[in-house]
Amino acid sequence: MESQIKYKSVDQYISLQPADVQPKLEDLRNVIKSIAPGSEEQISYNMPAYKQNGVLVYFAAYKNHIGFYPTGNGISEFEKELGKYKYSKGAIQFPVNDPLPVSLIKRIVKFRVKYNKEKLK
């Protein structure tokens, strides 16, 4: 949820969200870490961020959705699969009352890991 709190860790961020959203945020965190185990977890722009050779993804909790931010190419690459979700050039909204689209999230994170690795070359 948007707040005036300056979060210091992802654990703190998740623990201060509504109880019904916390398990989804933990699931999202675990999916990201399973695909990018070498990623650095931190708070950036006051939300959870994962970096590996640059930014991979961010996420944030809101009243009615979880915002997932895989940067512009993380959206454009998967645009055909996002039809059921609200999305913009840099964000996807996963409704809090729906199950997380785990396989889609995994594919997006894999794409971002590969993209960042290729970008280094």
Average confidence (pLDDT) over 32-56? 97
**Long-range own/partner contacts, residues 40-47 (CB < 8 A, 24 or more apart):** 41/10, 42/10, 43/7, 43/8, 43/9, 43/10, 43/13, 46/5, 46/6, 46/7, 47/7, 47/13
- What is the per-residue pLDDT for 35? 97
**More confidently predicted of 1 and 68:** 68
Average confidence (pLDDT) over 62-68? 96
Q: CATH says 10-116 is which class?
A: alpha beta
Query: Is pLDDT of 113 > 70?
Result: yes
- What is the per-residue pLDDT for 117? 93
Confidence of residue 3 (pLDDT cuts 50, 70, 90): low
Q: What's the pLDDT tens digit per position in 13-33?
A: 999 999 999 999 999 999 999
Whole-structure pTM over 0.75, yes or no? yes
Residue 112: name the closest of 31, 35, 12 by CA: 35
Q: How far apart are CA 78 and CA 112, in angstroms?
A: 11
Query: Is pLDDT of 34 > 80?
Result: yes
Note the Cα 101 to chain centre separation in Å: 12
Q: Which two tokens stand for residue 49?
A: 């961020």
| Per-chain mean pLDDT for the chain | 94
For the chain, which residues make up each domain, given as ranges?
10-116
